[in-house]
Structure 1
Amino acid sequence: MTESPSYLTTTAEAYDAIAVTYADFARDALDHLPLDRAILAAFAGYVRAPGPVAELGCGPGQTTAYLRDLGLDVFGVDLSPVMIDLARRTYPGLRFEIGSMDALDLPDGGLSGIVSWYSIIHTPARQLPSYFTEFRRVLAPGGHLLLGFFESEGGPVEAFDHRVTQAYRWPIDELAALAGAAGFEEVGRMLREPQEGERFRRGHLLMRSGLPAEG
């Protein structure tokens, strides 16, 4: 069995340790974030083809449940076993699996959509291209990807002291280009300024997996 990179082990253990507190904090977070709800609704509107949607890095499952309420056939995947246990108990009607975003136990082209809602933030820059390659593998041609992340406000990729474990802020143009190199086309983007109690600007990218070339 291949050993997980150290940052994956560190991230899983960090979220295991604070899972209950995090779940309490996150449960109603979207109630106060109308722009975030809007981009999730836009994603749901674009995902019209029949087929499942995966929330990758789902944590305790609150965003997975929100996507279900928007009419999507959605399931969640997370690295933290404790988070997955909480999600299964809180939302027993939904499917949740333990897994890593860079090596998904999913068939090629089986998904209509992927949501990565502030879940690539703990991935070092040199590792992130492999995540986009994996996202492209499991998405059907024309499938959609929604990324939520902390935006670096024009600066370079920057590590910061996230409350759980080390995370990274990305310039939105650079992140879009990285996804583009893996075969994604940008559909739209949304930036919002930090609200009270938030430190950083939030970035959101809606991407589409490129269609196969004709001929």
Structure 2
Amino acid sequence: MTAVEGFGSSESDSDDGQARRAAAVFDVLGSAYEKAFAHSETHRASLEWLVERLGPGSRVLDVGSGTGRPTAETLAAAGHEVLGIDASPVMVELAARQVPGATFRHADIHDVPLEDGEYDAVCVYFSLLQMSRATQTALLRRLVRALRPGGSMVLATVPADVEDVEVVFMGQPVRATSFGPEGFAGIVGAAGLTVLSAQNVLFTPDHPGAGPEPQLFLRCVRE
């Protein structure tokens, strides 16, 4: 399994230890993680679509912000107010240094207060994969409520029908949960989003021993 920026690095589940384990993985990976996924053209295309939809000075929440690149960096460079949330202190430190134009917080997304309609856009790039299915579903509903009506959400995941399986991610053992493509689109729709487009791709990380892996990107709006 793979991720661009935040493979579960912002997550929590009913077991607080899961978030700590996820953070520990990304503390170890650090900047090597960014290097492995920096060449994702699909991720950058998703961001370009989002930037084109945003008005000047929009407020954007980046869930699982990782090193800040490319998501927060792209959005901040376009003049938007970006808040990145990540459970890994190493990632937050890297992001704050690399993207001074955005704000980053070391926190579990579940502990971050979210007001209804306070954001113009929300980014959720691969940041659900170490949550249970029930927790993923509940968090998506909460994030949609934090979007203003007409606001945009971009999401990406590894589309696989797996639940609490152990995988090796860049040499680190992690436990992962996901949905197949239809299942993921289903929970996104049930949360209150309209999917405007979906893109399935195979991506090969720039990391020793990595092979091509499936990725699903969704471009959505809160109607």
Q: Which TM class, normalised by the smaller chain length?
A: 0.7 to 0.9
2:104 aligned partner: 96
| Unaligned stretches of 5+ residues in structure 1 | 211-215
SS at match of 1:203: strand
Moved over 6 A (4+): none
Maintained 8 Å contact 1:76/1:96: yes
| Alignment deviations for residues 64-101 of structure 1 (CA, whole Å, 9 cap, x no partner) | 11332344332201122332233223333321012333
2:218 aligned partner: 205
Maintained 8 Å contact 1:118/1:150: yes
Choose from 192, 195, 199 the match for 1:183: 192
Count of residue pairs brought into register by the alignment: 203
1:85 aligned partner: 93
Residue 160 of structure 1: how far off its partner (Å): 4.6
2:177 aligned partner: 168
Q: Look up the equivalent residue of 1:177 and give its one-letter code.
A: G
| Alignment deviations for residues 38-61 of structure 1 (CA, whole Å, 9 cap, x no partner) | 122112222337530011011222
SS at match of 2:213: coil
Choose from 60, 63, 69 the match for 1:56: 63
Choose from 44, 48, 62 the match for 2:51: 44
Q: Look up the equivalent residue of 1:182 and give its one-letter code.
A: A
SS at match of 1:92: coil
Maintained 8 Å contact 1:16/1:81: no
2:4 aligned partner: none
Note if 1:65 corresponds to 2:78.
no
Residue 170 of structure 1: how far off its partner (Å): 2.2
Percent identity reads 23
SS at match of 2:134: coil
So what's the TM-score if we normalise by structure 1?
Answer: 0.82
The answer to which structure, 1 or 2, has the higher relative contact order (CA under 8 A, 6+ apart) is 2
Q: CA RMSD in A?
A: 2.4
Choose from 112, 120, 140 the match for 1:112: 120
Maintained 8 Å contact 1:88/1:94: yes
Structure of larger gyration radius: 1
d(CA) in 2 for partners of 1:128, 1:25: 23
| Unaligned stretches of 5+ residues in structure 2 | 1-11
Decide whether aligned partners of structure 1 residues 39 and 5 sit closer, same or farther in structure 2, where only a CA change above 3 A counts.
Answer: closer
